[in-house]
């Protein structure tokens, strides 16, 4: 079983958006997927609950990681972990014990870039990451292209020691998918094609053996 975690020390960066869409992409590809929510607000669990209204879409196992240990069903091929905000120190070490891939979403703002710098240093000091047992990459999230702050973020991320995979647009499509319990890839292609193509580098990285 492979494990993918979405983590950033700063809240509100879009971890849940990435977690739910990664989970649905693999589920739509035929994988047996579980999605664990470590956030007390339970946004991921709410999304999974909304998903139950549909017939014929792939099932994704919901795991409330706040109320007990993470136990995926037998035969699970992919476990996606939506980490809690404000994660530091020993908590990072404990969470990463089970993780193959770690994706860090970062927003285009000066505050987020400063927080990212501190968090990146914590990751570099982590033994599992330094031994490359957990692979790390960064995604710029909620981006308005051709803005000054995004170009600053792009330059900043390009100088970090972890790969900068792609940027995701600030788009109403993510709001639609979050409210409906669907993934971006399950909405009408004519509506989401501009957003979907930006995800290719993420899945190329995750599927690179």
CATH code: domain of residue 104: 3.40.50.300
pLDDT in tens, the chain (209 residues): 999 999 987 777 889 999 999 999 999 999 999 999 998 888 999 999 999 999 999 999 999 998 888 999 999 999 999 998 877 888 888 899 889 999 999 999 999 999 899 999 999 999 999 999 999 999 999 999 889 999 999 999 988 899 999 999 999 999 999 999 999 999 999 999 999 999 999 999 999 86
For CA atoms 125, 126, 130, 131, give the dihedral sign.
Answer: positive
Alpha helices in the chain (DSSP H): 15-28, 43-51, 89-96, 110-124, 127-130, 148-158, 172-180, 189-196, 200-206
In a domain, 206, yes or no: no
In a domain, 35, yes or no: yes
- pLDDT, residue 149, reads 92
In a domain, 114, yes or no: yes
In a domain, 164, yes or no: yes
Residue 134 in contact with residue 96, Cβ under 8 Å? Answer: yes
In a domain, 15, yes or no: yes
Tell me the C-alpha distance between 89 and 173, whole Å.
35
In a domain, 208, yes or no: no
Sheet with 33-37: list strands edge to edge. Answer: 60-64, 33-37, 78-82, 2-6, 101-106, 135-143, 164-169
CA-based nearest residue to 49, from 41, 61, 38, 40: 61
Beta bridge partners of 138: 104, 164
Name the residue range of residue 103's domain. 2-199
In a domain, 86, yes or no: yes
Domain count, the chain: 1
- pLDDT, residue 209, reads 66
CA distances from 206 to 78, 101, 106, 136, 150 (A): 11, 7, 18, 10, 24
Residue 206 in contact with residue 101, Cβ under 8 Å? Answer: yes
- pLDDT, residue 183, reads 96
Tell me the C-alpha distance between 27 and 115, whole Å.
33
CA atoms lying within 13 Å on the CB side of residue 58: 20
- pLDDT, residue 12, reads 75
Q: Structure pTM? A: 0.95
In a domain, 207, yes or no: no
For CA atoms 85, 89, 138, 145, give the dihedral sign.
Answer: positive
Token digits of residue 27: 């589920």
């Amino acid at each position: 079983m492979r494990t993918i975690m979405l983590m950033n020390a700063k809240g509100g960066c879009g971890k849940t958006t990435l977690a739910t869409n990664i989970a649905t992409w693999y589920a739509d590809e035929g994988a047996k997927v579980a999605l664990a929510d470590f956030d007390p607000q339970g946004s991921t669990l709410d999304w999974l609950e909304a998903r139950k209204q549909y017939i014929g879409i792939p099932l994704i196992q919901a795991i409330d990681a706040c109320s007990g240990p993470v136990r995926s069903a037998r035969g699970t091929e992919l476990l996606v972990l939506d980490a809690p905000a404000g994660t530091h120190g020993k908590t990072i070490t404990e969470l990463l014990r089970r993780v193959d891939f770690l994706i860090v979403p970062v927003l285009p703002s000066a505050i987020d870039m400063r927080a990212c710098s501190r968090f990146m240093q914590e990751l570099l000091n982590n033994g599992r990451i330094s031994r490359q047992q957990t692979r790390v990459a960064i995604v710029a999230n909620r981006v308005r292209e051709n803005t000054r702050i995004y170009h600053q973020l792009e330059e900043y991320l390009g100088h970090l020691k972890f790969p900068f995979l792609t940027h995701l647009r600030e788009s109403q499509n993510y709001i639609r998918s979050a409210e409906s319990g669907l993934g971006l890839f399950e909405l009408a292609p004519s509506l989401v094609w501009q957003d979907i193509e930006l995800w290719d580098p993420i899945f190329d990285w995750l599927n690179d053996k």
